[in-house]
A and B are shown apart, each in its own frame.
Chain A
Amino acid sequence: MDVTGAPSDAEVVARVLGGDSEAFALVVRRYEAGLLRFAARMLGSRDAAADAVAESFVRAYRHLASCREPARLRTWLYRIVANRCKSHLARRPIADVSLDEAPAVADAADTELNLERAEQLALVQRALVRLSPEKREAFLLKHVEGLSYEEMAAVTGERVPTLKMRVHRAREALLQVLEEYE
């Protein structure tokens, strides 16, 4: 139980494994936003991301007993989604993302600001697409999903020094591409 009174991941996992399959809905609600965002940025497609994440959740449910550290459920879910994204990318390359990827307009008066943001986002996404899948994954996990290097190691199976190097190279590659687009 955390300070808000919500059950911890370990408690939810215990409930599901104890027979309350409906409790898994809490897991979906808790993590779908981040996982969808990660998958969409990895695959360049929202539809592909929705499929990948939905399939990952179902797989996670069916293999929940093999989650050795329920308290680190989040990392385990990212691992499943990351692997699914890798399989998807191995079959087909990332799609380019169009400028239709615009954030919702919060306020009509901010239309100009939002349009600028949309263009910046499209530029960044296009730059991200140019990174290799390993660098893209490393950048997203570190700087977008906010995982520590130790958590990234659990997700990717790579050693921390390898991941640090990969993130460094990802930053450099991204900056270079962003400069090219200027």
Chain B
Amino acid sequence: MNAIDPRIHQALDGELAPAALSAELSRVVERLVTAAALLAAPLPLASLESRVMAAIRRPVPSPARRLLRWLATPRAITFRVRPVWSLAFAAVVALLTLFPLGHEGPDIGEHEGIAQFVGRFPGAQSVHVVGSFNDWRSGSIALEDVDQDGVWRATVVLPTGAYEYMFVVDGERWVPDHLAERLVADEFGRENSIVIVRPARR
């Protein structure tokens, strides 16, 4: 690599006035300035805001869950132990992965809660709840009529906050939740129900 005239460095570091340079040295400075300016152009990249904020709102797994995940993840480990210790280790791993510690239902994070949806739709073949918690996609939260009495239910883990929603019966009939106490106009001539999800750990 060829060293360049130190006055070029001084000019680029603001230690020497550019006017003090000869024409030739000024050309070199200009070359680097142009290169930097080209690299400094903003890139047409999508904003990361919604991605970052969604990740921030997602709960951090508990230390126990992180440990379980680490133990259950295949990884190359080389260590030399006596056979009795390797057997003991294998037994611990098997126990922890086959019998999760005191686990009932999903691990609910600090910023999550439970929303319970109930609706009476006798004769319906399917009932879904659709709202701002699932980008208004039908199919992601299905209610169930377990005992076939026409009462459909779903219990869902959601991030805390307020959401608008409706039920969709048999894939086509949009129905408000008559048991919901909170309603708001949807700007399309109907009313959405509102659910406020509070932290489950309170």
Give residues in A with beta carbon < 8 Å to B.
21-22, 24-25, 28-29, 32-33, 36-37, 40-41, 46, 49-50, 53-54, 57-58, 61-62, 103-104, 117, 120-121, 124-125, 127-128, 139-140, 143-144, 164, 167-169, 171-176, 178
Q: Which of A32, A104, A124, A164 contacts B48 (CB 8 A)?
A: A32
Contact segment of B2-10, B69-77, B125-133, B181-189: B2-10
Q: Please, what's the 1-or-0 string for B15-54, where 1 marks a CB less than 8 Å from any CB in chain A?
A: 0000000000000100110111011111111111101110
Asked if B13 is an interface residue, CB under 8 A from chain A, the answer is yes
- Size category of the B interface is 20 to 34
Contact among B31, B42, B55 with A58 in the assembled complex (CB-CB below 8 Å): B55
The answer to whether A46 touches B38, judged by C-beta atoms less than 8 angstroms apart, is: no
Q: How far is the CB of A179 from chain B (nearest CB, A)?
A: 9
* CB < 8 Å A-B pair total: 100
- Bound-complex Cα distance A173 to B9 (A): 13
Q: How many angstroms between the C-alpha atoms of A61 and B45 in the bound complex? A: 21
Complex contact B49–A178 (CB within 8 A): no
Residues of B within 8 A of A178 (CB): 31, 35
- What does DSSP make chain A's interface, helix, strand, loop or mixed? helix
Contact B32 A143 (CB under 8 A): yes
Complex partner residue of A37 from B3, B43, B53, CB under 8 angstroms: B43
Q: Which of A36, A117, A174 interacts with B45 by CB under 8 Å?
A: A36
A28 B4 Cβ-Cβ under 8 A = no
